[in-house]
């Protein structure tokens, strides 16, 4: 399956489908869901739902729909969310610390949540050694050692713009190929590195366009 070239747009929609199915599982009032209903709740057409899922196999029956639990389980497997995913976070400012607290607490309380921040790094010597939700803040120089020790393959970058490229280079050098970047700066990464950029200020500026005069 990984030999197929799945578009980024399809991958972006899979977690949305999964969320709809998990909400239906929590409600527990039915076992089946049509592509029409799944599409409506996900904000896409039923044809697009069927097309997206067809990349990964045959999950539904025409005229019957999808078995909610089966499709939920398959989507979790496809997204690798059926196992723990150890994550590193670099940059323990206000945003970084809030992210660590959120992820650590949710991981401890939700058995189905497998995104686990296992190592935290910051270049500020005054922050190093501090404890955040049971994790000591460590020097970035330890990233390669901790990545190997803890099997880290994903990282969150929450550092100032002028430090972001250096941090990303260190993470990539440690073998980490999946990055989520909060720094508002364009970063250069190798072709085999997947990076998602979340520029909050840029998104708010886009939203401001819709303000009424």
- The answer to whether residues 100 and 184 belong to one domain is yes
- The answer to whether residues 63 and 94 belong to one domain is no
Per-residue pLDDT, 102: 97
Per-residue pLDDT, 212: 85
Does residue 168 belong to any structural domain of this protein? yes
Does residue 211 belong to any structural domain of this protein? no
Dist CA 172 CA 190 (whole Å): 8
Domain boundary, last residue among 17, 46, 78: 78
Please compute the mean of the pLDDT values over residues 70-80 and round it to a whole number: 95
pLDDT tens figures, 126-164:
999 999 999 999 999 999 999 999 999 999 999 999 999
- pTM value is 0.88
Write out the residue range of the structural domain in which residue 164 sits: 85-203
* Higher pLDDT among residues 164 and 111, named by residue: 164
User: Which pair of tokens denotes residue 118?
Assistant: 């296992």
Number of domains in the chain: 2
pLDDT tens figures, 19-68:
999 999 988 878 999 999 999 999 999 999 999 999 998 887 777 899 99
Does residue 210 belong to any structural domain of this protein? no
- The answer to whether residues 126 and 110 belong to one domain is yes
CATH (domain of 15) = 1.10.10.10
CATH (domain of 173) = 3.40.50.720
Please give the sequence-ordered ranges of beta strands (E in DSSP) within the chain, or none if there are none: 32-33, 60-61, 65-67, 85-90, 115-121, 131-132, 135-138, 154-157, 178-181, 194-197
Per-residue pLDDT, 4: 66
């Amino acid at each position: 399956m990984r030999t197929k070239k799945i578009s980024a747009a399809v991958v972006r929609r899979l977690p949305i489908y999964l969320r709809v199915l998990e909400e239906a599982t929590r409600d527990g009032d039915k076992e089946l869901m049509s592509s029409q209903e799944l599409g409506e709740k996900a904000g896409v057409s039923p044809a697009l739902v069927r097309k997206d899922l067809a990349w990964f196999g045959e999950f539904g029956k025409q005229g019957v729909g999808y078995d909610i639990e089966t499709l939920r389980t398959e989507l979790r497997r496809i997204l690798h969310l059926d196992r723990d995913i150890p994550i590193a976070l670099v940059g323990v400012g206000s945003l970084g610390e809030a992210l660590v607290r959120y992820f650590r607490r949710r991981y401890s309380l939700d058995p189905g949540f497998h995104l686990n921040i296992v190592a935290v790094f910051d270049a500020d010597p005054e922050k190093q050694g501090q404890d955040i939700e049971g994790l000591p803040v460590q020097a970035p120089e330890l990233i390669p050692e901790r990545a190997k020790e803890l099997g880290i393959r994903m990282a969150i970058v929450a550092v100032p713009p002028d430090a972001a490229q250096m941090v990303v280079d260190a993470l990539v050098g440690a073998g980490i190929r999946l990055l989520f970047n909060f720094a508002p700066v364009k970063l250069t990464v190798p072709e085999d590195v997947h990076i998602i950029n979340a520029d909050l200020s840029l998104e708010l500026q886009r939203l401001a366009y819709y303000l009424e005069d």
